[in-house]
């Protein structure tokens, strides 16, 4: 499972928080509110995220505009799936996970399972 480094995670957090695609400068301005960073540092991180497939980019003028390839929830779901695939007993792992959930999370999971059952019934 690929986890983001600290700065990669900060960049992805900024990208996921956006509605529109972003330039390096857009992301840099948000990050500078937290800590000082050089433009080239953020540019390098965003290029690496593009090379790894986490961001797409489109040339606009002399620079690029970046967008995420997955939403934050899709990324989280992928992580959960990868964690579950590493166990020898997915059922027990899921049982332990569900036991740790609060009632609102259990209700959200129940809703998702009902939706999935309806989706499968439509196939």
- What Rg value do the Cα atoms of the chain yield, rounded? 19
In the chain, list all ranges with CATH 1.10.10.10. 6-68
3-state secondary structure of 66: strand
pLDDT in tens, 50-84: 999 999 999 999 999 999 999 999 999 988 888 89
pLDDT in tens, 102-115: 999 999 999 999 99
User: Going by C-beta distance under 8 Å and a sequence separation of 6 or more, which residues neighbour residue 83?
Assistant: 1, 93
Average pLDDT over the chain, rounded to an integer: 92
For the domain 6-68, what is the CATH code?
A: 1.10.10.10
**Predicted structure pTM score:** 0.79
Q: How far apart are CA 1 and CA 46, in angstroms?
A: 20
- Whether residue 34 contacts residue 10, with contact meaning beta carbons closer than 8 Å, is answered with yes
Predicted confidence band of residue 1 (pLDDT cuts 50, 70, 90): low
Per-residue pLDDT, 107: 93
């Amino acid at each position: 499972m690929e986890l983001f480094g600290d700065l990669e995670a900060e960049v992805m957090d900024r990208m996921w928080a956006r509605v529109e695609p972003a330039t390096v400068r857009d992301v840099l301005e948000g990050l500078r509110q937290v800590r000082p960073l050089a433009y080239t540092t953020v540019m390098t991180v965003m290029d690496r995220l593009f090379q790894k497939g986490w961001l797409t980019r489109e040339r606009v003028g002399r620079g690029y505009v970046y967008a995420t390839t997955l939403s934050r929830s899709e990324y989280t779901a992928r992580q959960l799936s990868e964690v579950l695939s590493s166990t020898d007993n997915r059922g027990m792992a899921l049982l332990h996970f569900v036991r740790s959930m609060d009632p609102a999370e259990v209700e959200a999971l129940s809703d998702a399972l009902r939706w999935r059952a309806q989706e499968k019934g439509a196939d």
